[in-house]
C-alpha cells in the first residue's frame, strides 16, 4: 500500500526562506511531524508566536500566513490545494500559553486562526481524508506546509530593527506546547523573499 502523502516538508517551504539557516537542529524532529500533526490538529489550537524587538509594531493586516499546498502525484486523482490562510493577532499573554517571558526589550506577538481560516483548514483536512478513502489508501501526492511572514518583514523599514533577532515558534496542539522553528532577522527574510522572485 502506498503512503498517502510523501514527506514534503522542506525548510525552504516551511518559512519562505532560502536554505535551512535559522532552523534549530533540536526542532527538526518536531518539524518532520508537522505534516501529520496538522492533518489531525484542532485548528483552534494552532498558533504562531513571534518574539521580536519591543519597538516592532506590525501594521494592521500584516499577519503571518499558513501556506498549504497539496498536489496529487497523478493529475486529476483528487483536487489540488494551494492556499495561503491568514492568521490573526491574539490578545492572549505568552505566559499563559507556556511561553517563557521575553527578555528585556523584547515581546511576543501571538497569532491564531480566525474562524474563516479554521474552516479552510478543516476543508483541507476533509479533502485529504476523502481522497485517501476514495482510493482505498493508495492515493499518493505531496503536502507542503509553511508559515509565510513576508508582509511582517516588509513592514520593518527602520534599518536598526531590520537587524534585530526574530524568533518564530509554532504550536499545533495545545498539549504539545510551542517549539522554536526559526530564528533570524527581518533583513534575512526580506533578502530571501527577493531571491524567490
The pLDDT profile of the chain, 197 residues, written as one tens digit per residue, is: 233 333 233 333 344 333 345 555 455 556 656 666 777 889 999 999 999 999 988 888 899 999 888 888 778 777 788 999 999 998 777 777 889 999 999 999 999 999 999 999 999 888 878 877 776 655 567 778 888 888 888 888 889 999 999 999 999 889 888 988 888 888 888 777 676 65
Give me the domain span that covers residue 100: 5-196
The whole-number pLDDT of residue 28 equals 54
Q: Specify the number of domains making up the chain.
A: 1
The whole-number pLDDT of residue 2 equals 31
Find residue 49's DSSP bridge partners. 110, 169
Task: Supply 35's cell numbers.
Answer: 505534516
Contacts of 119 (CB under 8 A, 6+ apart): none
> pTM for the complete prediction?
0.80
Cα–Cα distance for residue pair 29/133, rounded to 1 Å: 28
Amino acid at each position: 500500500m502506498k503512503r498517502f502523502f510523501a514527506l514534503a516538508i522542506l525548510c525552504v517551504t516551511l518559512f519562505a526562506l532560502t536554505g535551512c539557516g535559522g532552523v534549530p537542529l533540536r526542532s527538526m524532529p518536531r518539524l518532520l511531524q508537522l505534516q501529520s500533526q496538522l492533518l489531525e490538529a484542532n485548528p483552534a489550537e494552532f498558533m504562531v508566536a513571534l518574539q521580536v524587538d519591543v519597538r516592532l509594531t506590525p501594521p494592521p493586516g500584516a499577519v503571518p500566513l499558513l501556506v498549504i499546498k497539496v498536489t496529487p502525484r497523478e493529475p486529476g486523482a483528487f483536487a489540488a490545494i494551494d492556499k495561503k490562510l491568514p492568521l490573526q493577532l491574539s490578545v492572549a499573554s505568552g505566559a499563559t500559553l507556556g511561553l517563557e517571558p521575553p527578555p528585556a526589550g523584547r515581546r511576543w506577538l501571538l497569532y491564531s486562526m480566525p474562524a474563516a481560516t479554521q474552516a479552510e483548514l478543516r476543508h483541507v483536512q476533509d479533502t485529504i481524508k476523502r481522497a485517501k478513502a476514495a482510493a482505498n489508501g493508495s492515493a499518493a501526492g505531496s503536502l507542503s506546509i509553511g508559515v509565510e511572514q513576508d508582509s511582517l518583514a516588509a513592514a520593518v523599514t527602520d534599518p536598526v530593527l531590520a537587524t534585530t533577532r526574530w524568533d518564530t515558534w509554532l504550536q499545533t496542539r495545545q498539549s504539545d506546547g510551542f517549539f522554536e522553528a526559526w530564528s533570524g532577522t527581518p533583513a534575512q527574510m526580506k533578502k530571501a523573499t527577493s531571491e524567490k522572485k
